[in-house]
């Protein structure tokens, strides 16, 4: 009985998401709309709808959608919004950890930038399970030349310019490790300052 109720709620949420997709696109249901369904469900933190879409195979966890002029994979969107349960769900459905949005940010960049150490740990665990090279993600630079660690430090320090080659990097790290979970988590996982 409880499962039927949950399924019914998921289907109701999905209908709302479909209506939002139709309203935003101004057209009838199409494959383009189904690309946006997952992203709309994520954006609205509709956990059950995301689960339903993935379980039924309606969408792929690796789909891209254009959101605010940025091509964004579903995993990047969930990491950017700090929706750790949705990140974990996408990863359990084989979402790729090394995907990038159009600004070359990976889910790791976005989780670090938003100080979400739980998302970082889930991304690391998934990469280990899939034999993906997580260390290359730790060193990956986005379009602005920033690594996940530098983004996490900037988030903690709220500074406007930090340079990786700055001789002061170690003192910045010492000051921010105690303040930022993401910084500590990234250093623990082997990120190189």
Residue 189, token pair as written in the block: 């996982």
pLDDT in tens, 128-144: 777 666 667 788 899 99
User: What number is the average pLDDT over the span 60-86?
Assistant: 85
| Among 41-45, 64-68, 84-88, 174-178, the range of highest mean pLDDT | 84-88
Return the number of other C-beta atoms located less than 10 Å from residue 108's C-beta. 31
Could you tell me the CA-to-CA distances from 123 to 78, 98, 152 in Å, in that order? 12, 9, 15
Phi, psi of 122 (to 5 degrees): -65, -40
pLDDT in tens, 13-30: 666 656 554 444 444 444
Rounded to whole angstroms, how far apart are CA atoms 189 and 69?
A: 32
**Residue 50 pLDDT exceeds 70:** yes
- Domain extents for the chain? 100-193
Architecture of domain 100-193: Alpha Horseshoe (1.25)
SS3 label, residue 66: strand
């Amino acid at each position: 009985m409880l499962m039927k109720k949950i399924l019914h709620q998921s289907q109701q949420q999905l209908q709302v998401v479909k209506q939002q997709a139709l309203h935003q696109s101004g057209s009838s249901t199409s494959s383009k709309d189904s690309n946006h369904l997952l992203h709309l469900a994520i954006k609205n933190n509709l956990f059950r709808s995301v689960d339903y879409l993935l379980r039924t195979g309606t969408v792929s966890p690796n789909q891209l959608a254009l959101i605010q002029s940025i091509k964004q994979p579903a995993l990047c969107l969930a990491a950017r919004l700090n929706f750790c349960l949705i990140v974990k769900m996408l990863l359990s459905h084989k979402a790729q950890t090394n995907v990038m949005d159009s600004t070359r940010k990976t889910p790791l960049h976005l989780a670090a930038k938003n100080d979400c150490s739980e998302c970082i740990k889930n991304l690391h665990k998934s990469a280990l399970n899939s034999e993906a090279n997580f260390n290359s993600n730790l060193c990956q630079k986005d379009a602005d030349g920033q690594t996940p660690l530098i983004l996490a430090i900037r988030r903690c320090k709220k500074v406007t310019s930090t340079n990786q080659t700055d001789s002061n990097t170690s003192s910045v790290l010492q000051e921010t490790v105690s303040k930022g979970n993401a910084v500590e988590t990234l250093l623990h996982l082997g990120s190189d300052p």
